Structure 1
């Protein structure tokens, strides 16, 4: 029974990883080429929306930077600045929460590092949150969850 559950979790995990495949993104402007495979698809889709807004309306004269601070995704003002310089979007412009950390999954979905698979007395849980949280300094966590 444990093997069957383990196999089911492996299949589900692989399906999740397949969703991060850069080939799966459609209609992403070449402006984001440097970010493909490095930034999550969700963040790239949101950034693409901001990019589209730069064409549809002119941004306000001043940027409060609240969008970028809140989401960690470049706002339309920053995108316009980069476009005016003739450059492409860079992964560094996205908050680290949106960066894909494939090296953390180097063992693959079947590895002990990916799934915390123990005895029947232990629950089966993804072992992903702990390493990611431990990489952020305490002040970064407080920024998102103030006391």
Structure 2
């Protein structure tokens, strides 16, 4: 339901309807506890676990198709940087992770729970820690199937 409300608000925002997109954002914030501005881009089949509870997404953030975002995740800007995060196709971001600033999370990369990502994560990479560092690069055939959550 929360994603449907976002899709409606994003469509209205693209059509430049003045007030309604932000009203829908407030409804999402109050009912589901997610900050999901109509100006951000969410790809197809993005999964925000537990209806996005505690998740905050920057208004200019870009999230690719099939990404999985757990609860309590922050995807936002950083002081002194104009660019905000780009989360590519199939990426997984664990609970409580913070992805801040001009960061690109590569295709099918994974970010561990409570990690603070301040640098790029390569495709198929696994990043953990504070600040996050890449500890492994997965092979494409070893990836877990997050699409089975749908």
The TM-score range, normalised by the shorter chain, is under 0.3
Q: Larger Cα Rg: Structure 1 or Structure 2?
A: 1
TM-score normalised by structure 2 residue count: 0.24
Query: Comparing both chains, which one has the higher relative contact order based on Cα–Cα distances under 8 Å and sequence gaps of 6 or more?
Result: 1
More helix by share: 1
Q: Calculate the TM-score normalised by the size of structure 1.
A: 0.24
Q: Whose strand fraction is larger, Structure 1's or Structure 2's?
A: 2
